[in-house]
A and B are shown apart, each in its own frame.
Chain A
């Protein structure tokens, strides 16, 4: 078993090294199209609630997509600048991702709170269960088990 333990250790090391290597390398530079796609994916289509400009085929989404493409190929603005430009130009709430400020931050905070709360529930359940172990079997119980086991071996 000793050897197996060390094999496990080696395996964990190998996986960690490979993951670090894989996580740090990239798939080449981002193309303009990648930038357009990732920007339009966080912009809400104004006429179809819940869908992004990237997903929607509606005319309103089409024109925002064209504007983003123009901005990206001009290459003068950063991603944030393009997003705020779109917000200014088309007006209203254009982002599909809720902000992490004000009341909107609740949508990010509540899931974490739910996870922490349910882990706490699990933890307290296990502590409770650990507290009330079932009683040890009486001799009567053991007799019942022995009888049952006997009949079982008779069958075989």
Chain B
């Protein structure tokens, strides 16, 4: 069982075992304590979560130590380690393949468990906390076990290996590889927390609103990191992959998008439950769906059933994840069925023209969106099973279907923020949407003047204008009434997030519809023209280091600055990686890639130029979403309990 050579291998494996034992004991203590309501047992819980977390840190540190000291006795280091990898990328190499990424999952999950048990330390007499921690311990134990057996990063490698190939070249040529995976994992794994509390609420039968309010910030935290992680991945794709796009709809991207979609649906519909006590079954189902989609996504992409650029090699962990997925579904559905009577909501939604009805419509759209993404991702598997035939479902399918869904969501974002709870009249709507609608008209006229064409992008810009107007209206009214406090809290912070989403939607609309590209065969010192810009090849140079040979074309753009798209050959792996070079501005990006074949002694080079409008607004929009999420996490001003629930927070005059 301990067949691992090298000191870090043995130590790391021992840490994993300790972590597993800690999690099992933790689960045992939490469940027994909660069932018997025995505070003496419950008081032991934080010790086990600390133990598990410390063990996870230890195991991760052992892996880093092995990677940094290039301990080639470990199979994992043989696979992704190399003496020639620069220190930073070598550090990140730990999570560049399957076993290491599971180890990072273990670390993040144990960290969340410890953080939650610290957070509830003064409220342990509330049994919901114990049950939730028990659920988290069970999931942690599962991951410790996966890391101990099928995805063991500390397995001994073949003897006599003194150097390795290093990580995938794509994972050692951009600094974002340091940030994108850990941040994404903080979101991806973070959805375990609200899921655990949902299960705990079902078990205790306290399915009212208390636990929701309590875990609101955890959900927001996980959602924010998931959003930010996905955006960083898009940025990485744009900066590294060389096809000038930010999203390829590959299965691993879809696996991260699916929980984001259901999570986004949840953080909207949970407002209806907090306010009106409705949609309890639905909200719990969304949390269960979000968590189980993270497990299903890992199964699909990490077991070798689906392949993609992100997918690591095949392994036997598939059956483990499939089993966990099944258990999660059976237990959750069983619990929801068992508590069905308590979940029935007391209220009714009075009118289809109300805030809560808009949230329902939002949820329908997000549910359909999730269904589309899931269906497209697994459809090749279905066809293969039914007809033993290979087909591919790619970007054109997802683009075609997500466009109308996106436009419908933008429409909803335009109307929903001005809708009052309970019931609205068309007159209120006419009043409140008056200025937002003019924003839409202005956006439409402006985009026409700038030369935009085509129904879909123009609708995007118009609806973007209206929804930006609606979001700004809310922010202006709130700040006028409450000063700076009008920027914090769910509703107001949420509007800042909306503004970020609108920027991203508009930027995607513009860059997808109005990009131009051209392949140019450049000859040294002869100017070529494309789309009002000039490109002149100055030189083709070769740069060598001990892991790669890169050929760079030095291209003078508009006679001002030199850009150097490159193709790098990673000699140990024998893989060519193109590195684009981008001139960014507030209006347009000029994206240059060097096309193969290349010769460094030639005085000519084939360059592909993409002119892409508004790309930078994707990243500005992301930053705005991050700011909005932080603002939304602060408590906003609440209504007095004696106020009518229909009393609006802002003065209803515009």
Q: Residue on A with the closest CB to B376? A: A107
Select the stretch in B159-167, B237-245, B312-320, B496-504 that faces chain A. B237-245
Which of chain B's residues have a CB closer than 8 A to the CB of A125?
A: 349, 360
Do A92 and B390 touch across chains, with their CB atoms under 8 A apart?
yes
Interface string of A128-139 (1 = CB under 8 A from B): 010011100000
Select the stretch in B50-58, B75-83, B327-335, B453-461 that faces chain A. B453-461
Which of chain B's residues have a CB closer than 8 A to the CB of A86?
A: none
CB distance from A39 to the nearest CB of B (A): 11
Q: Is B598 an interface residue (CB 8 A)?
A: no
Q: Residue on A with the closest CB to B348? A: A129
- Given contacts A21-B448, A98-B393, A129-B349, whether A49 and B308 have CB atoms under 8 Å apart is yes
CB distance from B280 to the nearest CB of A (A): 14
Do B248 and A19 touch across chains, with their CB atoms under 8 A apart?
no
CB distance from A62 to the nearest CB of B (A): 7
Do B250 and A114 touch across chains, with their CB atoms under 8 A apart?
no
Do B397 and A107 touch across chains, with their CB atoms under 8 A apart?
yes
Do B391 and A93 touch across chains, with their CB atoms under 8 A apart?
yes
- Given contacts A103-B383, A126-B352, whether A19 and B455 have CB atoms under 8 Å apart is yes
CB distance from B645 to the nearest CB of A (A): 12
CA distance A119 to B455 in the complex (A): 25
- Given contacts A21-B448, A93-B391, A93-B392, whether A15 and B440 have CB atoms under 8 Å apart is yes
Which of chain B's residues have a CB closer than 8 A to the CB of A22?
A: 444, 447-448, 452-455, 458
Most A Cβ at <10 Å: residue of B308, B396, B596: B396
Do A49 and B307 touch across chains, with their CB atoms under 8 A apart?
yes
Which of chain A's residues have a CB closer than 8 A to the CB of B430?
A: 4-5, 8
Q: Residue on A with the closest CB to B392? A: A44
Interface residues on B, range: 35 or more
Q: Residue on A with the closest CB to B352? A: A126
- Given contacts A11-B437, A19-B462, whether A57 and B243 have CB atoms under 8 Å apart is yes
Do A129 and B241 touch across chains, with their CB atoms under 8 A apart?
no
Which of chain B's residues have a CB closer than 8 A to the CB of A26?
A: 453-454
- Given contacts A50-B249, A51-B250, A57-B576, whether A42 and B375 have CB atoms under 8 Å apart is no
Do A23 and B361 touch across chains, with their CB atoms under 8 A apart?
no
Which of chain A's residues have a CB closer than 8 A to the CB of B444?
A: 15, 18-19, 22
Do A57 and B242 touch across chains, with their CB atoms under 8 A apart?
yes
Residues of A at the B interface (CB closer than 8 Å) are 1, 4-5, 7-8, 11, 14-15, 18-19, 21-23, 25-27, 31, 33-34, 37, 41-42, 44, 48-52, 54-57, 62, 69, 92-93, 95-98, 103-104, 106-107, 110-111, 114-115, 118-119, 122, 125-126, 129, 132-134, 148-149, 151-152
Residues of B at the A interface (CB closer than 8 Å) are 241-243, 245, 248-251, 306-309, 348-350, 352, 357, 360-361, 364, 367-368, 371-372, 375-376, 379-380, 383, 386-387, 389-397, 401, 427, 430-431, 434, 437-438, 440-441, 444-445, 447-448, 451-455, 458-459, 462, 514, 516-519, 576-578, 596, 640, 642-643
Write 29 A-B pairs (CB below 8 A) sorted by A numbering.
A15-B440, A15-B462, A22-B453, A26-B454, A27-B454, A37-B517, A41-B396, A44-B392, A48-B307, A50-B248, A50-B249, A50-B307, A51-B248, A51-B250, A55-B395, A57-B242, A57-B243, A57-B576, A93-B389, A96-B392, A97-B394, A103-B386, A111-B372, A114-B371, A122-B364, A126-B352, A126-B357, A132-B348, A151-B642
